[in-house]
Amino acid sequence: MKRFVLIFLILLVFLVSACSVGRDSIRIYEADFTKEYYEALNVMFDNNWAVVSIEDRFKENDGYICECGFDGRAQEFTEWTIEYTHENGDTRHFVLSNHSPFTEQVQAYLRNFIADYYKENFFNVYITDVPLAPSSYVSAFWLRNFGQSTGDDVDKIREMENMARNYLRNLGTSEGAVPLSQVTPANVFEMVPMYLVVRVSFSGDDSLGQEVEEQIMRDVEDMIESMNAFTNNSLNATFVIGYHQVIDLHTGNRHYRWYYIQGERVDVRTRMHMDRTVFESYRGVFW
């Protein structure tokens, strides 16, 4: 018992000392991403972009680093606001910082832009007068990971994941950069391997009733038809309809899931299957 206590105390001292290194220090990011990714930015914005502001940023953290891999020091970094002109004439801004990977910022920028657009122009237009639960949302996703629930063997999964990751990694190169000045919410599914998840989750301790549920289903179907026409039948999306609470719909189902790939409703069982099927629809295009 004494030996166990001694070993525990030694380990505790080691962890404390390891995580005390760099206390009160600051991690400073000095890379100039506008120079480092200059060629990629030229492709992204069709050689028509300018830095309109440069800001020094400071982010307070816990103030220590640990040999376990955690870096909780405060951070000093630079933020550039890039102004560019979309081919439709709109002036847009892309905020770039040097404290997170360039490619992840590109993904987040387009993901947020597309999700916000479809929420404002479709979800908020068609899904009205419904007591929506907080779990309702519109999100956009880039293809990245594939789970074993697809039924594929490990080598097949690894092949797909490697192809998707290589594509995302190349977003920071002139060869793989996405021409954001040409991407629109209408053509986005033709320009990048992305899909939407639209969840219509309505609240209520009791069922809203068959008539209301059927009207919601019709509204969702009208929304899907409109989205599909808007994208010239290239829509990639998952639609989930049901109650936030565990309440059966009037049909006895807990919820409905409708999957669309390249504008066609398809029969897939899980989100992992959706990822895989979307991936295959882009084979020969992006990988």
Based on the domain organization, do 69 and 79 belong to the same domain? yes
Structure confidence by residue, pLDDT tens digits, 107-134: 999 999 999 999 999 999 999 988 899 9
Based on the domain organization, do 189 and 265 belong to the same domain? yes
Based on the domain organization, do 77 and 126 belong to the same domain? no
Flag whether 205 is in a domain: yes
- Dihedral of the alpha carbons of 253, 257, 263, 266, in degrees to the nearest 10: -80
Last residue of a domain, one of 51, 78, 99: 99
Last residue of a domain, one of 51, 79, 99: 99
How far apart, in Å, are the Cα atoms of 178 and each of 11, 42, 106? 49, 10, 9
Q: 62 or 195, which is more confident?
A: 195
- Structural domain span for residue 71: 27-99
The pLDDT score that the predictor gives to residue 40 is 98
Residue type for position 147: G
The pLDDT score that the predictor gives to residue 50 is 98
Based on the domain organization, do 242 and 134 belong to the same domain? yes
Based on the domain organization, do 181 and 261 belong to the same domain? yes
Flag whether 21 is in a domain: no
Based on the domain organization, do 68 and 165 belong to the same domain? no
Based on the domain organization, do 154 and 235 belong to the same domain? yes
Nearest to 127 by CA among 201, 186, 204, 196: 201
Flag whether 37 is in a domain: yes
The pLDDT score that the predictor gives to residue 66 is 62
Based on the domain organization, do 155 and 42 belong to the same domain? no
Based on the domain organization, do 153 and 40 belong to the same domain? no
pLDDT-derived band of residue 269, with 50, 70 and 90 as boundaries?
Answer: confident
pLDDT above 80: residue 174: yes
Based on the domain organization, do 90 and 121 belong to the same domain? no
